[in-house]
Amino acid sequence: MSEQQKTVSPIKRALRAIEDLQAKVDLLEYAKREPIAIIGMGCRFPGAENPEAFWQLLRNGVDAITEVPADRWDIEKLYDPDPDAPGKVCTRKGGFLTQVDGFNPEFFGISAREAASIDPQQRLLLEVGWEALENATQAPEHLYNSSTGVFLGIYLNDYSKVMSSVGDSTQIDAFSAIGNSLSVAAGRLSYILGLKGPSMAIDTSCSSSLVSVHLACQSLRLGECNLALAGGVGLNLVPDTSIALSKSRMLNPNGRCQTFDAAANGFVKGEGCGVVVLKRLKDALADGDNILALIRGSAVNHNGRSSSLIAPNGMSQQATIRQALENSGVDSAQIDYVEVQGTGTSVGEPIEVAALGAIFGKNRPQDQPLVIGSVKTNIGHLEPASGIASLIKVVLALQHGEIPPHLHFQQPNPNIKWDEFSLKVPTERMPWTVGAKSRLAGVNTFGFSGTNAHVILEEAPISEVAPRSIERPLHLLALSAKTDEALIQLAERYEKHLAANPDLALGDICFSANSGRSHFQHRLSVVASSSTELYEKLAAFRAGQEVTGLLKGKVAGSPKIAFIFTGLSYQHLGMGRKLYETQPTFCAAIDNCDQILRPYLEQPLPELLFSQSSPTPLHFSR
């Protein structure tokens, strides 16, 4: 004990010790509830290949349900309106992706032979996981050996049935086992990217992907990982599950999810994949990440011994929601919107709405109803990927300040006690107005495993944009791909994105492309002074025209760059001044040299180098 400490009374020392302990307790409590930032998203849903297309589908009220494609199963042979007909499906409809076999194995270093034995769900997760990281401006190559976690919901395994249906056991090879293992769906993504954080596949049936998000948040808060990918995937490649669901009366024969409607008679199956990139809020703020929304808290539980294994349980759902609110530090009255499970089954729907009403609806002002909706009315029930589809929908709605329309709601379900709760179903686009508080929403889901999950989302915090100390007159967009064809397609995507978003800041576009993507051999660079000029040059490139300031080529190996300064003279007065005025890196380097040379020079180095008058202490010659 120091002399100074000895002069402090025991009571004061005890008080300081208590304060120190309280500070540690507060820090631990915050760590348990720290908001998690969503900094990137990727998705493939029926009718939407990415989050931007998904938002357009939602806000325009598009029903993406179609007839079963011919490359899945013979619907003419298998369809029968009688749900009890043996071996038949009672609906002709579903939500489907296009070209689920359009995988480029070489991009991920996988041989064509191995790819043929890999479940398309694993292939889809590789693609969407990569896209989500690029959306988050996290170049995948920079995550190698990092403590990045992977948490993925998956439970369908149709591809193994496809392989078995061939009936030729000689086609089973060394890749078949791992190619069709559900656990490898997460492990392969971690392996390809070299991620060393927790990696797991989660199967709780329809709540799988939202449980995955919950576990990812917990892992981040515990410090097991510093970045996490969470989501889910499900593909319908064979009719077996549809046949079984027909027999259990879960499928709606008319091929629609008519959530909340009196005509609701089950759901329509869909498929897809969604992945979000998560980071602790304090880390996201420190790293300057683009925060899309916050996960304030979440909760998971099970029905226990309920009326049946697959039947939903209202009291358990209420318990999940209450726990999620408590974990979030959010009051139920603060929630504006809840994205519901909304499968449209006669049993589950009234139970879910009653559970929501019991928590959010009672004592709620009539002029502030709880808005409820379901993405299943647009794309069907994606089962293991349904929760992540709901979450991505809400994140997009928070970003755009608008709640998209809920489809197929004509006559309110009479089994739902609408009069007891203050609820609203948005049948048209609805502005999500900004009030004194932040926008907050819930995402609810449950599975026939009996596992319930609920997540509380909040709009992204308003970030203070740091003023640019130097405004560059020109910017460089650098694009690359592993093939020339892929490079052209990438350039076209940028062109279309610029056409749809003409007000985007050119500097932000270039920074994200240059720093947030991996760089491959086939490369394209474009110099532009504005977003409009960049769009025009990309359009001219697509049309095959010669473009000034645009270069395209292929890099052989890993080129090394060297800058040589001969020290003999400069070629004209003020040479380099424009670089100093417009390029922050060059400016910082010169300023650093200036500080080093101050004791040896009579005037600051920038004045010496960039003087517009002669003579100067530097030798000038032509």
- First-residue to last-residue Cα distance in the chain: 73
**What b/e string do you get for 595-605 counting C-beta neighbours within 10 Å, with b at 16 or more?**
eeeeeeeeeeb
Which sign does the torsion angle of CA 20, 26, 30, 32 carry? Answer: positive
The Cα 517–Cα 527 span in angstroms is: 18
Q: Determine the pLDDT at residue 469.
A: 56
| Cβ neighbours for 87, distance < 8 A, ≥ 6 positions apart | 78, 243
Q: Determine the pLDDT at residue 31.
A: 67
Q: What is the pLDDT of residues 512-528, one digit of tens each?
A: 888 878 888 888 888 88
Q: Which of 99-108, 201-210, 215-224 has the lowest mean pLDDT?
A: 99-108
Residue 416: pLDDT over 60: yes
The Cα 306–Cα 316 span in angstroms is: 9
Residue 274: pLDDT over 50: yes
Over residues 375-391, mean pLDDT: 97
The tokens for 182 are 């559900």
Q: Determine the pLDDT at residue 620.
A: 46
Establish how many alpha carbons lie within 13 A of residue 348's alpha carbon, considering only the half-sphere containing its beta carbon: 28
233 band by pLDDT with thresholds 50, 70 and 90: very high
User: Which residue bears the tokens 């999500």?
Assistant: 432
**Closest Cα to residue 445, out of 255, 298, 328, 346?**
298
- Give, as one character, the DSSP assignment of residue 363: T
Q: Are 398 and 341 in contact (CB under 8 A)?
A: no
Please give the share of the chain, as a percent, with pLDDT higher than 70.
91
Over residues 560-578, mean pLDDT: 67
CA-to-CA dists, residue 116 to 103, 110, 159, 163, 262, angstroms: 10, 10, 11, 10, 45
The Cα 429–Cα 185 span in angstroms is: 37
- Scanning 431-523, the segments in alpha helix (DSSP H) are 484-500, 506-515
Chain length of the chain: 622
β-strand partners of 94? 66
Over residues 556-568, mean pLDDT: 65
Q: Determine the pLDDT at residue 575.
A: 76
590/504: higher pLDDT = 590
Residue 325, judged by CB atoms within 10 A of its CB (0-12, 13-18, 19+), counts as buried
103/560: higher pLDDT = 103
| Cβ neighbours for 341, distance < 8 A, ≥ 6 positions apart | 206, 348, 352, 374, 386, 444, 445, 446
Over residues 406-415, mean pLDDT: 94
Q: Determine the pLDDT at residue 622.
A: 45
β-strand partners of 42? 275
Residue 13: pLDDT over 80: no
Establish how many alpha carbons lie within 13 A of residue 53's alpha carbon, considering only the half-sphere containing its beta carbon: 13
The highest-confidence range among 51-60, 152-161, 490-499, by mean pLDDT, is 51-60
Q: Determine the pLDDT at residue 567.
A: 55
| Cβ neighbours for 555, distance < 8 A, ≥ 6 positions apart | 521, 523
Residue 80: pLDDT over 60: yes
Backbone angles phi, psi at 134, to 5 degrees: -65, -40
Neighbours of 50 (CB within 10 A): 17
Give CB contacts under 8 A, 24+ apart, made by 579-584.
580/606, 580/609, 580/610, 581/470, 582/470, 582/471, 582/472, 582/473, 582/474, 583/470, 583/472, 584/469, 584/470
The mean pLDDT value of the chain amounts to: 88
Task: Using DSSP bridges, classify how beta strands 430-431 and 440-446 pair: parallel, antiparallel or unpaired.
Answer: unpaired
The Cα 440–Cα 438 span in angstroms is: 6
615 upstream amide cis, omega within 30 of 0: yes
- Give, as one character, the DSSP assignment of residue 84: T
Q: Determine the pLDDT at residue 585.
A: 83
Establish how many alpha carbons lie within 13 A of residue 488's alpha carbon, considering only the half-sphere containing its beta carbon: 8
DSSP code per residue over 531-578: HHHHHHHHHHHHTT---TTEEEEE--S----------S-BSSTTTTHH
**What b/e string do you get for 147-168 counting C-beta neighbours within 10 Å, with b at 16 or more?**
bbbbbbbbbbbbbbeebeeeee
Neighbours of 145 (CB within 10 A): 9
